[in-house]
Amino acid sequence: FPIARDEFVALVGQGPAIANYFQDLAENHHVVSVLGIPVDVRQAYDAMVRNLPGLLAGQLQSVVQNVFMLLNWLFQAVLVLLIAFFLVKDAHKIRHFFEDLVPYGYREDARDLSREISQMLGAYMRGQLTICAMIGVVTGIAMWLVGVPYALALGMIAGVTAFIPFIGPFIGVVPAVAVAAFVSQSMSKVVLVLIIYFAISNIIYNFVSPKVFGDAVHL
């Protein structure tokens, strides 16, 4: 897709300029307008810094627990990837091994059950792909309608990051917010982008996703 490639190249090329914009905003422009209301970013930052020690002291235990949970999740993710690699690599050997464990008279039933499970997993993955594609398409169209550049690239990023559980939508919104802030230099556009992403995620995950997955796995 040449258009998508060109948008990604242009978006990456704008990366340094976007970073410089946010650095300049933090250093020189303390007051920004949010829906017409002036907000002193430096004052908010100073207040956050003053309250940070007390906040950290009160939440230290929770932070440590979350760090260990994250490390545990990363370890499990790596372990799952390794297991998946070896399962795919030796799938036929593993299948024959388990078939040999089943009594001869029940092997046909075991094969039918295996095929049914495989079809169910395939249907689930197709449902997940459908949801991610919907998020990408709707996000891209929404960004185009509100005048945010690189709408196609931003939509594709939103769709790809939707694969990531829990934090995917938060990762997907970051490039759109950065581009909207850099191009419009208006917090109103940033707030609009955040509202759009929030609305799309909630509508699709809460209303569309159950229907798609329910139909996919026949629930």
Per-residue pLDDT band for 199 (boundaries 50, 70, 90) equals very high
Q: Amino acid letter at 172? A: G
Q: What is the pLDDT of residue 137?
A: 93
Residues 54-88 pLDDT 10s: 655 555 556 566 667 767 777 777 787 787 777 77
| Share above pLDDT 70 across residues of the chain, in percent, rounded to a whole number | 75
Q: What is the pLDDT of residue 45?
A: 56
Q: What is the pLDDT of residue 138?
A: 94
- At residue 49, does pLDDT exceed 60? no
Nearest CA to 164 out of 218, 121, 201, 123 is that of: 201
Mean pLDDT score of the chain: 77
Q: What is the pLDDT of residue 143?
A: 92
Q: What is the pLDDT of residue 59?
A: 54
Residue with tokens 């139909």: 215
Residues 95-123 pLDDT 10s: 777 777 778 777 787 778 878 877 887 78
